Amino acid sequence: MSDEILIRTEGRAGRITLNRPKALNALTWEMCLKIDAALKDWAGDAEVALVLIDGAGERAFCAGGDIAEMYRTGTEGDYDYGRRFWADEYRMNARLYEFPKPVVSFLQGFTMGGGVGVGCHGSHRIVGESSKIAMPECGIGLVPDVGGSLLLSRAPGRLGEYLGTTGARMGPGDAIRAGFADHYLPEADWDALKAELCLSGDCEAVDRACEAAPESPLADQQAEIDTHFGGETLGDILRSLRAAESDFARETLEIMSRNAPLSMGCTVEMLHRLRPEATIRDALAQEYRFTYRAMERGDFLEGIRAAIIDKDRAPRWSHELDNLAEEDVAAMLAPLDAQALTFGEEAAT
């Protein structure tokens, strides 16, 4: 067994611990496959009453996917590696979402990108005082994926468009309000709850232990967010923000000016398509349309270069903020036909 992920049974619980604390528990392809295999085994194991997922260290549950190899292969013209990684990861995300037993996750520190796909699709998602949850993909030329687009589409009002295009970080109260978490518990009490869950296999222990959620700053901004992010396109949102004179509008425009226009435009369109009653598989299949094309026709490689490789924070995006055609958005989200994401067997079995 690889030390980067610890998979075992403990009492009545199937336990998954992401174990790369120095890398903020960034998710590798191998880790995705191991999670998927464990879920298959535990779904039919009568001794496993629930699944408990956590991350080693204090800084992060999982700060995202390990994308170094995607960048290396992509810059060499090999797009297949990334496409296969994403496909396997998305199938694992679907299995987690559809899992027939309770899944309890403990989300300390950073939970971002790929970490959302592992930690935010379970039945009992616990945050603490250090939790910072976000979908920051538009900053690297991707879109909110790993099923995150479904969570965003179901957030109250237009929080989804705001969180998806800006990558804004949610503290514990905001994460619960937006539907990325369910329960708040001070982190000093987590070990005791984990021990009880393993001993009893009773997920009602979560409800007994957890406390009232902290206040949500997003709640105070809800009306302004709904006003500006209610348009049909990215252009509508930008025009609304520019017409306003509030600090919120100015700060939001500054953030969005740094992100990839194509990614933000596709994010807005994706969320609109997913409302009102899409499934996790609908969301993942649509996300895969974008990520399949992200290296060859999108801004992903340039976004990684600027953020991770050269670290110059000066990406040269393929579109200017005010020069994004609707046809370009439609092209990135067009059906893939024979290359479309498939799930094969039922993900929950």
Q: Does domain 5-339 have CATH number 3.40.980.10?
A: no
Domain ranges of the chain: 5-339
Contacts of 308 (CB under 8 A, 6+ apart): 67, 68, 71, 140
Neighbours of 98 (CB within 10 A): 18
310 is a catalytic site residue: no
- What angle do the packed helices 159-166 and 234-243 form, to 10 degrees? 90
Catalytic: which of 114, 128, 167, 179? 114
CB 173 within 8 A of CB 315: no
The closest of 244, 245, 211 to 229, measured between CA atoms, is 244
Structure tokens at 66: 């390990």
Concatenated DSSP letters of 129-162: TT-EEE--GGGGT--S-TTHHHHHHTSSTTHHHH
Of the residues 54, 137, 182, 328, only one is catalytic, namely 137
Q: What is the pLDDT along the chain (349 residues), one digit of tens a residue?
A: 459 999 999 999 999 999 999 999 999 999 999 999 999 999 999 999 999 999 999 999 999 998 888 999 999 999 999 999 999 999 999 999 999 999 999 999 999 999 999 999 999 999 999 999 999 999 999 999 999 999 999 999 999 999 999 999 999 999 999 999 999 999 999 999 999 999 999 999 999 999 999 999 999 999 999 999 999 999 999 999 999 989 999 999 999 999 999 999 999 999 999 998 999 999 999 999 999 999 999 999 999 999 999 999 999 999 999 999 999 999 999 999 999 999 976 544 4
- 54, 89, 145, 299: which is the annotated catalytic residue? 145
pLDDT of the residue at 66: 85
The answer for residues whose C-beta is within 8 angstroms of residue 105's C-beta and 6 or more apart is 52, 53, 54, 61, 118, 119, 120, 122, 124, 125, 126
122 catalytic residue (yes or no): no
Whole-angstrom Cα distance, residue 299 to residue 263? 8
For this structure, is 251 an active site residue?
no
Give residue 331's pLDDT.
Answer: 98
For residue 331, which amino acid is it?
Answer: A
65 is catalytic: yes
Whole-angstrom distance, CA of residue 218 vs CA of residue 176? 11
Q: Which two tokens stand for residue 7?
A: 């998979």
C-alpha count within 13 angstroms, C-beta hemisphere, residue 316 = 1
**Are 137 and 167 a contacting pair, CB within 8 Å?**
yes
Alpha helices in the chain, H assignment, sequence order? 29-43, 68-75, 80-97, 114-119, 148-153, 159-166, 172-178, 190-200, 204-209, 217-228, 234-243, 247-256, 261-274, 280-294, 300-304, 326-332
Q: How far apart are CA 260 and CA 138, in angstroms?
A: 6
What CA–CA distance (Å, rounded) separates 14 from 47? 9
CA gap 345, 223 in Å, rounded: 43
Catalytic residue among 14, 55, 65, 139: 65
- Structure tokens of 315? 């990406």
Locus of tokens 């009880």: 196
How far apart (Å, rounded) are the C-alpha atoms in residues 161 and 254?
16
- Six token digits for residue 39: 């879920």
